[in-house]
Every structure is written in structure tokens, then in C-alpha cells.
Chains A and B, each alone.
Chain A
Amino acid sequence: MNADRILNLPVPWVEGGQENPADVVISSRVRLARNLSRYPFVNRSTPEERAAVLEAVRRAIEAEPLFRECAWCRLSEMDPVSKGLLVERRLMSPAFLQGSQERVLILDLHGIISVMVNEEDHLRIQVLLGRMALCEALRIASAIDRALYCLDFAFDPEFGFLTSCPTNVGTGLRASAMLHLPALKSSRAMPEIIAQSGRLGLVVRGAYGEGTTSAGALYQVSNQVTLGLTPEELTEKVQAVSSRLVEQEARAREALFNGRHELEDRIWRAWGTLLYARRLELAEAMECLSLLRMAQEAGLKGPFEKLAWGPLFLAIQPAHVQARKGRMLTEEEAETARAELVREGLGRF
């Protein structure tokens, strides 16, 4: 699959709904780790064994109606920009980029289901939906899981589904929600929230960037433990904590909008930057988009009311900028190209 084809695929998780395009919860993801009992795990398998895993998966998936419309992306045959696009669209992990010849991403052409074959585990089944839809994502992932039981997954009655790393054993499930929390970020409440969530067996971390801060105020809430609780219980826990964060974010925004003039000034400056900047770093562009998304959610009047956050958010990511320009760019060229793409996206030149 080449870059042009990937750029034309839908990305439902960034698109938002028709009625209310902006929401604190941006996306919901469920991932299941599975291994075929007949073969050693990926880290101890030969190329022949990994090829045999791939062949067994291919046969099972071809017979499965859920995968009627899907593409097979053999990583060894893809260029770096195309692979970058898939990572930025969160259809595969960055770790999947490094590794053996036998790595394949099976991609649902609706942009919802993806299956990594021969990552750390033989299979990583992922379902990615827009907004808070963890229960639905779990339902879809479980249906795929059941449809693939014919592959004879490694399972132990005491420990559950067996995975290469002990931190995934049991359900093999990672449920996560991506949240837009600009007010909590600026109120400096995140380190405390991160510490509290750790006590509940959950992890809250920056979705982009490092540590407790996150570019674009995007945070990911996910379960850390995978054994002892059912998939439904784990998912509900992530959902409950996400809901609490949404409430806390609303309260923090009220406080933030009390100093309305200052915030309005920042929002209008962000708008001005996106409209007129000739060079844009990724972090700056993400901060501007974050402020404008918050303005939309707060119902602030202005030309940014109709701003489509999702497509712009994707367009400014590094591989997307390179793919649009059709070549590898230096840092300076990328910043210029990013500013151009944003101005085009806003209908200004």
C-alpha cells in the first residue's frame, strides 16, 4: 500500500460527529494480544516459523467476513513515509516498524480494525473508534477474537491468554481513551492525576511528547493490569476514570474562562498564527489547534467555529507533511510546508 492510497483512507477517530464536532474524549481504542499455541513467540522464532504464523493467519482471515474489505501491508515492501502515515493514524505501533521481514499489517479499509502480525506477539488486534466508545470497541475486538479462535490461541486455564511479556498476560487487553485536557494541563493538575490513576491500576500519560506534559494537551488513559479482571471490568474502569477526567476538565475550564480576556487573547493569537505563519513547528501547531478546539467546545463565537480539527491535526504530523509534498524534507522545509498546508486547510494563502 502506498502513501497516496493511505491518505485517501477514512480516519473515523479524528473526524468527530456531525452535530458536535469537538469533544473532550477524542478516541477509544481496544487492543488484544494473542499468540498461536503451535509456534514459539516472535522473539524466539525462526523466519520460517513467523512465515508459517503469517500463512495460518492469512487462511483464517480470508475465511472471515469481518475482514472482507481489508488490505495486507507487508512492512518490508513499504517506504518510510507510508509506514509513518500508518503510525500517525495510530493503525500500528512505532515498535512494529523495527523488525523482521514477516511483519504484516492487516488493515480494514474503513479505518477501524487493524491487526499487526508478528509484532511482539503473533497477533495484535486493534479496534479504534472516535469519541468514548470503549464498550463498542471491545464488542468488535471480542467478535474478531472469537472468529479467530480457530487459530488455537495459546491459553492457560489459570493465566488466561499467554503473551510474550508478563505485563500483557491474562486478557491481553489494553483499553485506552485519548482525551483533550487543555484546562487540566494548564492548571498543573496532571502530575497528581497521573499519580492517582497509578494507584487504580491505570496509566494516564501524554499521548504526544514525553512524561506528564503532552503536545496539544492530548492524554491517554489506559489499563495497566491485564490479569484478574474481565475485559469488561477493565474497559469499564478506563471509561469511569475518563468520565471523571472529563468532569474535572469541565470544572477547570470554568475557572480558566473566568479570566476570559486572557484566554480569548490566546485563542485569537492561535488563530492568527495558523492563518499567517510562514513556518510552523509541530508542537506550536498542535498547541494552536488545541486552543481552537477548546474555543469550539466552549461555544466561543469567531471564524474558528467551523474549523475541522481532525483533518488539520493529521495534516500537520511529520509523515503527513512529507507525503503531501511527495518527498523527504529537511526540518526547515517541513516547517514551511506545514504552515502552507495549514493555510490551505483554512482557505487562506
Chain B
Amino acid sequence: MLCERCGKKNAEVHIRQSIQGVVSEHHLCKDCARELTSAWKPGSDFLEFSIGSFLENLCKTLGPETQQQGKATSVVPSCPRCGLDFESFRKTGRFGCAECYQAFREWIRPLFTRIHGSETYRGPVPGTSAVHGIQDELERLKKQLKEAVSEERYEMAATLRDRIRILEGRLPDECG
């Protein structure tokens, strides 16, 4: 598991903090733990953790893939359904609805890699609506793949091709 603050080193210090009965857990590398605890002042009630700062740190260095490919965009997305903007997500560390994942998709992949060591789900797929979801996603990815190839962004194309393979493997045979 990586440190929740810097997202770079292994988490070796594990802290449980109870504030008014609400228990939170934090997993930090030695350096971040040292920094946090040295910033603590006698008289303050608790250490200042917030998943927001962790996300903010991550998001400072990691933008959407289009940005990495030189297609920089300064537009920070908002969820069209619940109205949550990415800034608020960074502060609270909570999504507002299922649609947020779609709206922030390019931004959150690196975050998932840091939290989970992976950005791709493996496991059971619920019902028929999920199959439709996979087909929509495949269509979207194939379109992106075409664009990437025509723009000679081969690294991106390879990533997209891998994702398409994983998703195709998830469709029932008759849908494939």
C-alpha cells in the first residue's frame, strides 16, 4: 500500500484517529508521518489529515491523459448530473453520484492506480444494463483508439488497445 499523502512511498506508519467518536484511519510513509507529527502543535486536538490534501497532491502532478499527450486543457470538469466540480471532489474525497466517475474519468485513473495499484476492475458484472455499459464504453474506446492512431500517439493507442481487450473479455459470447 502506498502512502496516502505523497502516494509515492510505501505506507509504514498506520494511525487511527478518533474525533468526536468518528474513527478515521491513515496510512503514511515514514517521511510524511514525521512531517505531519512535527507540524502538530501542543494544544491542537488532532493531526490534520484530509483525503483532500492527498488527492490535491496527486492531482497537481497528474492530469488527464490528453494533457500528458500535449493536448493541455485548463477546463476542470464538473459532473453534469449532480453538479459536483472536481475541485470539491479533491477537497472532500467523495464522489456525488455514479455520473461523476464518467465526468472525471481521465482525472481519476492515476488516483486509482495510486490507491489500489490498479485502475481496472475484475469481478462479477451485474445484469444486462452492465453489458450495455460495456458496449458503450467499447465504442468510446475504439473511437479514441482511431484518433490516437491517426495522430500517431502510439503509447496511448497501446493503452487503449489493452483496455479494449479487457472489456471484450467481459462480454458474454453472444454479445462479443
* Residues of chain A whose beta carbon lies under 8 Å from any beta carbon of chain B: 35, 37, 39-41, 43-44, 94-95, 97-98, 142, 145-146, 149-150, 152-167, 169-171, 194-195, 198-199, 201-203, 205-206, 210-212, 224-231, 233
Contact = CB atoms under 8 A, between A and B. Distances in A.
B121 to A, nearest CB: 3
Contact of A230 (B14, B111, B122, B126): B122
Contacts of A98: 21-22
A96 to B, nearest CB: 11
Contact of B94 (A43, A201, A206, A225): A43
B119 interface: yes
Interface string B149-170: 0000000000000010001001
Contact of A157 (B14, B124, B130): B130
B18 interface: yes
Contacts of B101: 156, 159, 162, 169
Contact of B95 (A41, A161, A206): A41
Contacts of B84: 44
A159 B82 contact: no
Given A94-B22, A165-B94, A194 B14 contact: yes
Nearest to B21: A94
B2 to A, nearest CB: 9
Given A94-B21, A98-B22, A156-B133, A227 B116 contact: yes
A210 to B, nearest CB: 5
Interface in B120-176: 120-127, 129-130, 133-134, 137, 163, 167, 170
A225 B167 CA distance: 21
Interface of B: 1, 10-12, 14-16, 18, 21-23, 25, 27, 51, 81-82, 84, 92-98, 101-102, 105, 108, 111-112, 115-127, 129-130, 133-134, 137, 163, 167, 170
Given A41-B96, A228-B120, 8 more contacts: A39-B97, A40-B97, A41-B97, A43-B94, A152-B129, A157-B137, A163-B95, A225-B1
Q: Which 5 A-B pairs have the closest CB atoms?
A: A228-B118, A160-B121, A154-B98, A227-B116, A44-B96
Nearest to B136: A157
B100 to A, nearest CB: 8
Contacts of B27: 198, 203, 224
A45 B97 CA distance: 9
Given A166-B115, A227-B121, A228-B118, A94 B130 contact: no
Contact of B122 (A97, A211, A228): A228
B81, B126, B129, B163, most chain A CB atoms within 10 A: B126
Nearest to A201: B1
Nearest to B83: A44
9 contacts: A94-B21, A155-B125, A162-B98, A165-B94, A171-B123, A195-B12, A228-B121, A228-B122, A231-B123
